[in-house]
């Protein structure tokens, strides 16, 4: 089974309690299980991680680049302003799909800009947790 990382940025550990009208009632544990199950169906070994620390996320992206491992990334709030994250993604050596649970373009104006989209292979947004399954499918087909 081919390894794939699923990296999640700030506040995603709060799924299920954080703004359920936007992010739904499913928990981070539900997200982990969904990703692992989708991965099994696609022949992928999925390692799901979450951090609220920008430096840690940059380090994980370096790890992925060094090992040529594909990534599904929900940068969360870092999407809109983290040039450090953008520069780490630009070093990728395998497909990277930016993913969002909600549709940032349909939300507050400050969420409309993604500084990471231009260096990602593609973006999936607005399908709830299913966005991750769609991103993993794209990785399986791309890699």
Given the residues 5, 23, 62, 83, the one annotated as active site: 23
Which domain, by its residues, includes 43? 2-142
3-class state of residue 96 by DSSP: strand
Does residue 84 surpass a pLDDT of 70? Answer: yes
Number of domains in the chain: 1
Task: Dump pLDDT digits (tens) for 25-34.
Answer: 679 999 999 9
CATH number of the domain within which 70 lies: 3.40.50.9100
From the annotation, which residues make up the binding site for substrate? 74, 80, 87, 101-102, 111
Rounded CA separation 121/34 (Å):
22
Single out the residue of 16, 33, 66 nearest to residue 132, CA to CA.
33
Q: Which of 62, 100, 112, 132 is catalytic?
A: 100
- Kindly report the number of other CB atoms within 10 A of residue 40's CB atom: 12
Question: Is 23 noted as a catalytic residue in this protein?
Answer: yes
Average pLDDT of the chain, as a whole number: 92
Tens of pLDDT along 90-109?
999 999 999 999 877 656 68
Of residues 62 and 81, the one with the higher pLDDT is 62
56 phi and psi, to 5 degrees?
A: -65, -40
Give the pLDDT confidence score for residue 22 in this predicted structure. 59
């Amino acid at each position: 089974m081919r390894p794939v990382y699923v990296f999640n940025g700030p506040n995603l550990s709060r799924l299920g309690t954080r703004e359920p009208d936007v992010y739904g009632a499913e928990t981070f544990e539900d997200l982990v299980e969904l990703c692992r199950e989708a991965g099994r169906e696609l022949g992928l070994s999925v390692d799901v991680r979450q951090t609220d620390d920008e430096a840690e996320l940059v380090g994980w992206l370096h790890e992925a680049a060094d090992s040529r491992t594909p990534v599904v990334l929900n940068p969360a709030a870092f999407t809109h302003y983290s040039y450090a994250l953008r520069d780490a993604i630009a070093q990728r050596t395998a497909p990277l799909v930016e993913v969002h649970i909600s549709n940032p373009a349909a939300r507050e104006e400050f969420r409309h800009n993604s500084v990471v989209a231009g260096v990602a292979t593609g973006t999936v947004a607005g399908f709830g947790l299913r966005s991750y399954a769609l991103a993993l499918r794209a990785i399986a087909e791309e890699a």
